[in-house]
Amino acid sequence: MSKSGLDADRGAGAGRSRGATRGAERGGQAHASRETQAQQDTRSKLVDAAIRVFAREGFAAASTRMIAAESGVNLQAITYYFGGKGELYRGVVQHIADSMSAFVDPAAAAIEARLNAGAVTPEDARQMVHLALANIARALLIEASDDWARIILREQMQPGPEFEILFSSGMGRMLALLVRLTAIALQSDPAEAETRARALAMLGQVLVFRMARAAALRTLGWDKIGPDEFAVLERAIRINTNAILSYRPAEETKP
């Protein structure tokens, strides 16, 4: 065989070798991708099951065996993916915080941008308070599940390390914005207890429909909170908010 023919043959062989290598690499990447998706699916199953079990049983009574049975996943998977019950619970709380943030962060970002632009009038602030509360209400009353609410309520009643995850999430971000907006609307100091108390009072009127859901539904004669029911609650929240932001202690008359 001539030198040129030999070189050509070697080149073809090298090309086939490189092609085979690239094919093997692609096959390996596809396999790794499938493994990653499978791992994500398993982790999601465990988190979803853990939310239900922790909400139903509480942290102390819940067991990894219960969670594994609820998820249909092998018990050892909890140790593999999370390490133990405590770490799994932390993952559950982080999942709830991230999910709530996804609902409220766009509105929070819009409010922050408007505040950073400057020249916000009391009326502007009032309208942004309505926007903030409407988004919080929708996240809590429409998007959040009862299981989420039970876990959030337990963390409020008996705060542990995971409470910081919830407080520093999108909900905490919105609460900080409510304080700033309340101060502008009232032309008061955001550091004053009166200002912060009013911001909390406005948030509290939303929370009662979530945390005291059974009593609220019984009182209202509803069996659920859907779009029509939400519209009624949103109007009531708006009216109460306007009253809270209109009242000033100086206007109080002494008997």
In 3D space, the residue among 177, 174, 132, 169 whose CA is nearest the CA of residue 148 turns out to be 169
Q: Are residues 27 and 106 in the same domain?
A: no
- At residue 42, the pLDDT reads 93
Domain with 53, as residue range(s), is: 22-81
pLDDT band, very low/low/confident/very high, at 148 (cuts 50, 70, 90): very high
Least confidently predicted of 126-140, 142-156, 221-235:
142-156
Domain count of the fold of the chain: 2
What is the helix, strand, coil percentage profile of the chain, to 5? 80, 0, 20
Residue type, 189: D
Final residue of a structural domain among 81, 112, 132: 81
Tens digits of residue pLDDT in 14-50? 444 444 445 545 544 544 455 588 888 999 999 999 9
193 located within any domain: yes
- Residue 153 contacts residue 121 (beta carbons within 8 Å): no
Helices (H), the chain: 3-57, 64-71, 76-81, 85-117, 122-138, 146-157, 163-167, 170-186, 193-211, 213-220, 227-246
Structure tokens at 76: 């050892």
Residue 199: give its domain's CATH number.
1.10.357.10
Q: Are residues 58 and 115 in the same domain?
A: no
- Residue 145 contacts residue 213 (beta carbons within 8 Å): no
In 3D space, the residue among 209, 227, 206 whose CA is nearest the CA of residue 218 turns out to be 209
Quote the pTM value.
0.78
253 located within any domain: no
62 located within any domain: yes
Q: Which residues contact 169 (CB under 8 A, 6 or more apart)?
A: 97, 98, 100, 101
